[in-house]
Structure 1
Amino acid sequence: MIDSTPIGSLTESDSPVSAELYTRVQQFYARQMGLLDDGRPDDWSATFTEDAVFQEASRLDEPLRGRDAIRESSRARKQRLDEAEIDFRHWLAMLQVHPQADGTLRTRAYALAMRTPRGGSLDIFASVVCNDHLVPVDGGWQVARRELHHDGSNRD
């Protein structure tokens, strides 16, 4: 069973990870967000485990459970953005990486979600804290659990 304790509950005394591991995790997120922003929902959803949980309490009544549900939600989002002629981008920063005893990683990052209507001006849509539980798969990572908390929303 995957631990769902929020990354924020880990102490700051946790040892820093190696530069190599930190860079690998950054590259994972750059690729993952690029797939989403490039309108590739099938490839993006493949970066989640088959039984992944995607929780975005401020936008979803219930978490998305499983890669198939994540894929369908992402496909629908892509269709809405295409129809509205909106470019959407994600920017992740302030990444924290915490190795777990079982070989998985807990991560925490700030994310900005930005949208730009074609021919229009940039709009910062949301500022989010992203907590992930990453599991090693074939020399890389997949997200087993993602919890997004929008700034200004109720976190209960």
Structure 2
Amino acid sequence: MTGHIPAQLHTDISLFYARHMRAMDEGRVADWTSDFTEDAIFITNARPDHQIGRSQIAQGAHTAAQALNDVGDRRRHCLTNLEVYRVNPESTDIRVHSYALIVRTPPNGPSATEFLCTCTDELTTIDGRWLIMRRLVERDDLCGE
């Protein structure tokens, strides 16, 4: 890890993630997907193949959102422990490590933890806007010993 992060930058990134996760939780897949660069890479141990490019990421997100909608379940992404740092001192790009607690609620409840993930994102700014270039999501329940 490298590079001091000013408090305001940490706040800006926290607000970015609050908006980003709420967009997915509310089924606004296009808004959520627009936070990725056109050539972004999404890697997770929950799927055998990487999603490469915003359009593939959007397809996966639409499928997931539709499956939840079909059964009437709600899913909430509770992001915590954001660790934000510069990739290198000369770069404006940042890396963010976080935990995501995923809570699922069927119609009429009860809510339950679905899984816990460790996430690592690489972000850049384009036209003054933070965008995700690479996302790595590792679900704890799928990690081997």
TM-score, normalisation: structure 2: 0.93
Counterpart of 1:139 (choices 113, 128, 131) is: 128
Counterpart of 2:8 (choices 20, 24, 34) is: 20
Root mean square deviation of aligned Cα? 1.4
> Identity of paired residues, percent?
32
1:152 counterpart residue number: 141
Residue by residue over 1:91-114, the C-alpha shift from the partner in whole angstroms, topping out at 9 and shown as x without a partner, is: 111100011332100110011011
1:108 counterpart residue number: 97
Q: Say if 1:112 and 1:126, in contact at 8 Å, map to a contact too.
A: yes
Secondary structure at the counterpart of residue 34 of structure 1: helix
2:31 counterpart residue number: 43
Residue by residue over 1:20-44, the C-alpha shift from the partner in whole angstroms, topping out at 9 and shown as x without a partner, is: 0000000000010011001011111
| In structure 2, distance between residues paired with 1:121 and 1:151 | 22
| In structure 1, distance between residues paired with 2:8 and 2:52 | 31
Q: Which contiguous aligned blocks of 4+ residues in structure 1 show a shift greater than 4 angstroms?
A: none
2:73 counterpart residue number: 86
* 1:93 alignment partner AA: T
TM-score, normalisation: structure 1: 0.87
* 2:76 alignment partner AA: R
Secondary structure at the counterpart of residue 23 of structure 1: helix
Corresponding residue pairs, total: 143
Gapped regions of structure 2 (runs ≥ 5): none
Counterpart of 2:56 (choices 66, 69, 75) is: 69
Deviation at 1:16, TM superposition (A): 3.8
| In structure 2, distance between residues paired with 1:85 and 1:123 | 15
